[in-house]
Amino acid sequence: MHLVAGTARRTFTPGSGVELMGYGARSGVSTGIHDPLFARALFLSPNGDPALGIVLAAADLCLLAPAQAREVRERIAVETGVPADRTLISCTHTHSGPDTGLGALLRGEPPPAYVAEILESIVAAASEAAGSPESASFRWCRTEARIGANRRLAHGPVDPEVLVLRVDRASGEPLALLFNYACHGTVLGHDNLEISADWPGVACATIERETGANTLFLLGAHADIDPRTRGLMDLAIAGQSRGLGFDAVRALGSEVAEAVLGAIGGNGAAPQGGPIAAAAATLRLPVQLGSLAPDEARKLLDRRKRELAAVLGVAPEALPRLSELDGAVFRAVQELPVSEARERIAQARLYVRDKTAPFFVGGARAVEVELQVLRIGDCALLGIPLEPTTEVGIDWKTRVQPRLAYAAVLGIANGWMRYLPHARDLEHPLAHQHYEVLSSLLEPGASERILDAAEVLLASSPGPPLRETASR
């Protein structure tokens, strides 16, 4: 196989005065730009054929709606000849980036005008990458970083692995680097109003400065992992989305960059090679309460509504609007013991979760979820439009390795459809209080169905067969 590769980046930083995305507690619009935001793209193809190539694009955004990601992928297909199903759009998940209009789209309204320019920058970066291919080779390596901590459990699971793809020019100099790590972009908190790519922006900029290679960050299975500066999150404690400043952003981003730079070494290492392949499929999965008969779901929600009204001491018809319910319950439980307050807040959020789940999917009781498996040499990347927990990522790696040496789940890939906990997350005795469970769109069992289907996709994708391994 004669590999060709191309890479490019475009900046899209909007100015001051735009809404920021990522924190419900944030008040006010952006007051300035601390560091620029980028769309970065990498094109890889065997023998230079776009139809057999893949595009990986990473944008310094909190998230995109699935429809927005699909639009971008289809436009890239027209511009480059790379099929949309072989293009992956990832968001770095900075919580200090511009609002991309998800709420407006869900209400049937257009997103802010500047969003069109953001989407155009992703298309332009991918088009430039595919339009400037050169002979290349690649190799995978792994290292570890410790900036992430489980935000839900003091001794909860954390995956410290940083997976790194180095793409070299024929001269042996690095053309592009890609790294995958599982951690929210939330060193900065809701109190920050400056536009920033958070720690991933520092990591990418540092690596680019040291190597000259365009550097893409692909977010991993991060749902329950925050920067260690945040500590444990507790629903019963106010103000926990406050962050630290830009000194902490630089420190944590530099820490990840140093790990990546130490792993890739100098020029001249032997390339690994292997297939470039892609496969995609959709699963129809029920949203919360979607497997119940409509009458049963309605009765369950009515019962929960009455119970919440009793907690607040009001009649059910006087219950605050859903957008105000969380705050009303929080204020009502301030004099209760913390353990009881947690239960009451979780009770409210469970009701809101299940009541609003259809809102995220146009009123439907089930939704089509796209899975995308990209095989690059001895690595299988699984892209899903959800925020998967650490256990989801660990499960995928357990399933794939050692049939392939490397594997990773890519979260918020090709859109965003809320959180995805694993069955092991749901087994915890306090799972009903955990934010990731209370923010999940899909009914329990979804992660296992997704991973089962992804295994089938990987086995059926073009390229050399997978190595045999013992049954799990």
One DSSP character per residue, 236-266 reads TSTTTT----HHHHHHHHHHHHHHHHHHH-S
Helices 198-211 + 246-264 axis angle, to 10: 40
Instruction: For residues 416-432, give the mean pLDDT.
Output: 96
Query: Sorting pLDDT into bands at 50, 70 and 90, what band is 235?
Result: confident
d(CA 326, CA 263): 45
Whether the Cβ atoms of residue 76 and residue 160 lie closer than 8 Å to each other:
no
d(CA 169, CA 118): 29
- How far is C-alpha 78 from the geometric centre of its chain's CA atoms? 26
pLDDT at 267: 58
Whether the Cβ atoms of residue 417 and residue 367 lie closer than 8 Å to each other:
yes
pLDDT digit string, tens, across residues 241-283: 888 999 999 999 999 999 999 999 865 556 787 899 999 999 9
Query: Sorting pLDDT into bands at 50, 70 and 90, what band is 67?
Result: very high
Q: Return the HEC string of 398-435.
A: HHHCCCCCEEEEECCECCCCCEECCHHHHCCCCHHHCH
pLDDT at 175: 97
SS3 content of the chain, % helix, strand, coil (to 5): 35, 25, 40
Query: Sorting pLDDT into bands at 50, 70 and 90, what band is 231?
Result: confident
Whether the Cβ atoms of residue 195 and residue 17 lie closer than 8 Å to each other:
no
Query: Sorting pLDDT into bands at 50, 70 and 90, what band is 470?
Result: very low
pLDDT digit string, tens, across residues 391-410: 999 999 999 997 899 999 99
**318, amino acid identity:** A
Whether the Cβ atoms of residue 304 and residue 350 lie closer than 8 Å to each other:
yes
* The two three-digit tokens of residue 425, written as one number: 């997350």
d(CA 213, CA 204): 10
* CA 245 vs CA 34, 188, 222, 228, 390: distances in Å: 11, 6, 21, 14, 26
d(CA 43, CA 176): 10
* CA 116 vs CA 36, 42, 102, 420, 468: distances in Å: 18, 21, 13, 28, 46
- Is the per-residue pLDDT at 165 higher than 50? yes
Closest CA to 187 of 156, 147, 157, 223: 147
Whether the Cβ atoms of residue 416 and residue 91 lie closer than 8 Å to each other:
yes
Dihedral over Cα of 152, 155, 157, 162: its sign: positive
SS3 353: helix
